[in-house]
Amino acid sequence: MAGFVKVAKTGDVALGSAKMVEAGGKKIAIFNVDGKYYAIDNTCTHRGGPLAEGALEGKEVTCPWHGAVFDVTTGEVLGPPAPKPVSRYEVRVSGKDIEVEV
């Protein structure tokens, strides 16, 4: 059964940055874009690169291994070589807690 799980504090993910967290047995990348938080799978669908370590520009993250580009708000692939999108997770902020639905 899906539910929201506390994964970080708002102060843990600075504006324009990302953090990898684990919840529900999954590695999830949390992104802070203009003060709003988004969550997608941390693992690139091309060769498994860690998306939380990629360059974030606006709402686009570039995989640090081979340059695939993903939209952090939807998980969609915006640039190759990734063959398919990553999963996206609902995020809510409760006080200073960031919670992800897994």
Spatial distance between the Cα atoms of 24 and 7, rounded to a whole number of angstroms: 10
Q: Is the pTM of this model over 0.85?
A: yes
Domains of the chain: 4-101 (2.102.10.10)
Q: Could you tell me which of 2, 1, 5 has the C-alpha nearest to residue 91?
A: 5
pLDDT digits (tens, 9 = 90+) for 62-94: 999 999 999 999 999 999 999 999 999 999 999
Q: Tell me what the pLDDT averaged over the chain comes to.
A: 97
* pLDDT category of residue 95 using cuts at 50, 70 and 90: very high
Residues 5, 8, 10, 11, Cα dihedral to 10°: 170
